[in-house]
Amino acid sequence: MANIIVLFSSSRQNGNTRNFIDQIAIQLETIDIFVEIIDLEQYHFSDFDYKHKNKNDDFSPLFEKILPCPIIIFATPVYWYAVPPQMKRFLDRISDYLICPQLSDKGRQLRGKTAYIVCTSVKEHASETYLNALKETFAYLGMQYGGYIHADCSEGYLAEQQDNAIMLFSHLFKTQKA
């Protein structure tokens, strides 16, 4: 089992964000932290439905897979100050585990887990709107916010420009030891 689960979502499976998270995973593995990257685009789950007619899609098995992991990284590009649609759909579907009485015990298992953000954009800094939406989601779920790392990809993803930031980011996990 992974020490850290990465929930990755992007319309480009091999784009800037994927390159960034792959580079982070390699660095973390040098300090004996195993990372499993889950590409949300490879899963099929529907939007949140108040009538809970969406029970037979990929969401529940995916959610069950992340529950044992104490650290979850949410990795996306910033799309119009927000996460991509599949990540939003994933976050919305967590509601199933908060409001359905038969699932709520599992939903509460998110409490105390630590969430990190890995993001890319064509700006020098990550959008505060984007970051705050995720931080507030983590707080609502009872998750601890551990921090974030952002890559400016206005000229594409330039790995060598991220080395120092990735090194600093990986030190956050040394002390926590997933």
- The pLDDT score that the predictor gives to residue 160 is 87
**Looking at residue 25, which CATH number applies to its domain?**
3.40.50.360
Conformational region of residue 7, where left means phi above 0, alpha means psi within -120 to 50, and beta covers everything else:
beta
Residue 176 maps to a domain: no
- The pLDDT score that the predictor gives to residue 88 is 95
Residue 71 maps to a domain: yes
- Domain with 140, as residue range(s), is 4-171
Residue 149 maps to a domain: yes
Half-sphere exposure of 101 (CA within 13 A, CB side): 0
- The pLDDT score that the predictor gives to residue 157 is 87
Residue 67 maps to a domain: yes
Per-residue confidence band for 2, with pLDDT thresholds at 50, 70 and 90: low
Higher pLDDT, 176 or 9: 9
Per-residue confidence band for 175, with pLDDT thresholds at 50, 70 and 90: low
Residue 76 maps to a domain: yes
Report pLDDT digits (tens) over 35-67.
Answer: 999 999 999 988 888 877 777 889 999 999 999
Q: Which among 143, 114, 119, 115 has a CA at the least distance from the CA of 129?
A: 119
Question: Is pLDDT at 178 greater than 50 in this prediction?
Answer: no
Report pLDDT digits (tens) over 111-153.
Answer: 999 999 999 999 999 999 999 999 999 999 999 999 999 999 9
What are 52's two structure tokens? 């809970």
In angstroms, the Cα distances linking 39 to 104, 129, 160 are 25, 24, 24
Residue 178 maps to a domain: no
Q: How many CB atoms lie within 10 A of CB 98?
A: 14
What are 70's two structure tokens? 């104490």
Residue written as tokens 């040394």? 174
Helices 163-176/16-30 angle, 10° precision: 50
Q: How many domains does the chain have?
A: 1
Report pLDDT digits (tens) over 59-88.
Answer: 999 999 999 999 999 999 999 999 999 999
Residue 177 maps to a domain: no
